[in-house]
């Protein structure tokens, strides 16, 4: 609280369970005393804390454990909604999805997609910074129910990352959401007709 009163912050991440004061009380105080966006961190099965956190003014929440890249994507989305631009965001090049040509454009380079790759990317963009489950992807793209032992979706994503990502081992466009599925950070791929 002292730091928030003395310094400027773009965003706060607040854990619900903290030593001393609860994260919910801190979030309530932050929202009453500043315009700083807040992302709550909650336990995986703690939906009551999530609801209460959102009711006291948290701008978003993330269940633990989480992938740091998902946290970064959520931070970017919250900051965009609150009108704050991150300095490093300009360094991340955005891709453009061209529907008519079924390709991604990165600068002057065109990355042509097959029908399944195009539908996959479009599904993730349409999810608007939320994850799409492997179950949904398997049904929509492969026409079959997902089996946890089946690695078809994950192998498909690995091949697509080879085509799309600058560095496939640290993807910035197709992000894995652990134990759920995949997401495209909002604004990283723009859709053109």
Distances (CA, A) of 100 to 104, 107, 170: 11, 18, 29
* Chain centre to alpha carbon of residue 189: 12
Between the alpha carbon of residue 135 and those of residues 118, 125, 152, 179, 183, the distances in Å are: 18, 17, 12, 11, 14
Mean pLDDT of the chain: 85
pLDDT at 65 over 60: yes
Whether 2-65 shares its CATH topology with 91-192 is answered no
Domain boundaries, the chain: 2-65, 91-192
The first and second tokens of residue 64, run together, are: 């633990």
Q: Tell me the CATH class for 2-65.
A: alpha beta
Per DSSP bridges, beta strands 103-106 and 109-112 are antiparallel
pLDDT in tens, 100-157: 999 999 888 899 999 999 999 999 999 988 899 999 999 999 999 989 898 999 999 9
- Dihedral angle over CA of 71, 76, 79, 83, nearest 10: -170
Q: What is the CATH number of domain 91-192?
A: 1.10.10.10
What does the pLDDT average to over 160-186?
A: 89
Does residue 41 surpass a pLDDT of 80? yes
Residue in this structure with the two tokens 């959520």, named with its chain if needed:
74
pLDDT computed for residue 94 by the predictor: 82
Torsion of CA 119, 121, 123, 126, to 10 degrees: -130
Q: Is the pTM of this model over 0.75?
A: no
């Amino acid at each position: 609280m002292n730091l928030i009163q003395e310094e400027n912050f773009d965003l706060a991440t607040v854990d619900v369970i903290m030593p001393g004061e609860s994260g919910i009380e801190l979030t309530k105080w932050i929202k009453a005393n500043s315009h700083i966006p807040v992302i709550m961190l909650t336990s995986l099965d703690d939906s009551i804390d999530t609801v209460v956190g959102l009711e006291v003014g948290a701008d978003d929440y993330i269940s633990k454990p989480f992938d740091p890249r998902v946290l970064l994507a959520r931070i970017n989305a919250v900051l965009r909604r609150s009108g704050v631009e991150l300095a490093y965001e300009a360094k991340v090049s955005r891709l453009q999805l061209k529907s008519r040509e079924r390709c991604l454009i990165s600068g002057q380079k065109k990355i042509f997609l097959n029908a399944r790759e195009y539908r996959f990317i479009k599904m993730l963009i349409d999810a608007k910074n939320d994850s799409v489950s492997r179950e949904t992807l398997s049904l929509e793209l492969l026409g079959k129910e997902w089996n946890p032992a089946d690695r078809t979706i994950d192998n498909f994503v690995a091949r697509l990352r080879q085509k799309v990502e600058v560095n496939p081992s640290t993807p910035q466009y197709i992000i894995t959401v652990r134990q759920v599925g995949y997401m495209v950070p909002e604004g990283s791929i723009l859709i053109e007709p």
